[in-house]
Copies of this chain bind each other. A is one copy, B any other.
Amino acid sequence: MAAISAPVVSTKPANAVDPADQIIVPPGSVGIVAPQLIAFDEPLHLSSGQTLPSYELAVETYGTLNAERSNAVLICHALNASHHVAGISASDPKDIGWWDNMVGPGKAVDTDRFFVIGVNNIGSCFGSTGPASINPETGQPWAAAFPMLTVEDWVQAQARLADHFGIHKFAAVMGGSLGGMQALSWAITCPERIAHCIVIASTPRLSAQNIGFNEVARRSIISDPDFHGGNYYAHNTVPRHGLSVARMVGHITYLSDDDMAQKFGRTQRAPADNGEFHYGYDVEFEVESYLRYQGEKFSTYFDANTYLLITRALDYFDPARSHGGDLVRAMQGVAADFLLVSFSTDWRFPPARSREIVRALLKNKRPVTYAEIDAPHGHDAFLLDDVRYHAVIQGYYDRIAAKLGLPERIQTIGVLK
């Protein structure tokens, strides 16, 4: 069913210098990594009623699957991330994995003990089958015809990936934001296949405000004349302006008000000689420069159809919906232990949203650990290095390792040194 079509991960020892390209691998890094592309020929039946006839998943793995296949950890990504969770990309040494501070030998998710899988979701634009991929039926990019996906669809595809690796039950499925929704969905839809569920900076459903911001982003993209109804590949255009504005508004929601005040405040970018304003619509303030740069950069590498698709999957996620809105009932069959983490200044998915999940678990008498981290960095905090946050994660993985009888932690790198 599944065929491996790309080289597996090549790792280098810590502190090694690659003789060819002089890449310095820092201690705690999983090393230099390259993705696998794994093809699945069995059709995937989707929540929408549509079917994806076949697909490929881009995957990276770190560490070694033990003989019992009990030490596997699946890391699920959020809107704009990928399978490249940790390490240094073989194709671009500047491309460090998006959760490299979390995953590696001796780190919170210790690749000396765990076999960690990063997977790019279907519909994304970093290697797995998505709207920019060729539709085998037409020989053209899927574009607007690519089927709509849900979190549950991604979990289904990830479960097949687990089968491919011969993993019946994950030691943990883990993710932040949209990644946390996937972890939660794993616990609900595949309860027998997940021992621990780690949900960070997430929510059991988007609020009206969350959906509102997503809709702003979508309108911005869709109303860009270069979008061409999603078929911009055929027109050789990219809806860059729309995608850029979408990213700018998204970016604001990832940061806290305080964090933006600290980072940018009202600092002027390049004031006139007398320190005055320029009185125009070019950049006056640092924050404008930063947001424009983030928007423009994003628009050069991210696929607009993927942005639409993933924001819609976020909107749709609501496991309680088929249980009359009752999250307690939705989680009745859950068998995993849970760790939930939220951040005090995250106004996108604030702590109250995580507490809803905690309460539903407690009502179902599930073991749950909950940490509310007082951190200034808003929603983005889940990606950042924070001693207390990483200590919580590390402590939880130490408990998982102890339960599984995995070897003791042999080194401690980074925040807990």
A residues with a Cβ closer than 8 A to B are: 47-50, 147-148, 205-209, 211-213, 215-216, 218-220, 222-225, 241-242, 244-245, 248-249, 252, 255, 257, 260-261, 263-266, 277, 279-281, 284-288, 291-292, 295, 308, 312, 315-316, 318, 321, 347
Contacts and interface: CB of A to CB of B under 8 A. Distances in A.
A200 B282 CA distance: 30
Contacts of A263: 208
A288 B209 contact: no
A261 B206 CA distance: 10
Given A241-B223, A244-B223, A295-B219, A208 B265 contact: yes
B208 A264 contact: yes
Most B-side CB within 10 Å, residue of A263, A288, A295: A288
A257 B215 contact: no
Contacts of A277: 48, 316
Nearest to A257: B209
Contacts of A248: 212, 215-216, 219
Q: What are the 9 A-B residue pairs with the smallest beta carbon separation, nearest first?
A: A223-B241, A48-B279, A208-B260, A148-B279, A208-B264, A208-B287, A215-B288, A209-B257, A212-B252
B244 A219 contact: yes
Nearest to A222: B281
A222 B207 CA distance: 30
Contacts of A261: 207-209
B206 A266 contact: yes
Nearest to A240: B223
How many chain copies? Answer: 2
Given A245-B223, A291-B215, A148 B252 contact: no
A266 B319 CA distance: 13
A308 B295 CA distance: 19
Given A48-B279, A208-B285, A219-B245, 8 more contacts: A208-B257, A208-B266, A212-B287, A215-B292, A216-B252, A216-B291, A219-B241, A284-B315
Given A225-B225, A257-B207, A252 B287 contact: no
B266 A211 contact: yes
Contacts of A249: 213, 216, 249
18 contacts: A48-B277, A49-B279, A147-B279, A148-B279, A206-B266, A208-B257, A208-B263, A212-B248, A213-B252, A215-B292, A216-B249, A219-B244, A219-B245, A219-B292, A223-B244, A224-B241, A225-B225, A277-B316
Contacts of A225: 225
Given A207-B257, A207-B260, A266-B205, A287 B148 contact: no
A249 B48 CA distance: 29
A212 to B, nearest CB: 5
A277 B318 CA distance: 12
A19 B167 CA distance: 82
A216 B253 CA distance: 12
A280 B309 CA distance: 9
A281 B218 contact: yes
Contacts of A205: 266
Contacts of A242: 223
Contacts of A321: 266
A148 B209 contact: no
Given A225-B225, A280-B148, A252 B209 contact: yes
Contacts of A265: 208
A220 B218 contact: no
Nearest to A311: B281
Contacts of A213: 249, 252
Contact of A216 (B245, B266, B347): B245
A376 B350 CA distance: 18
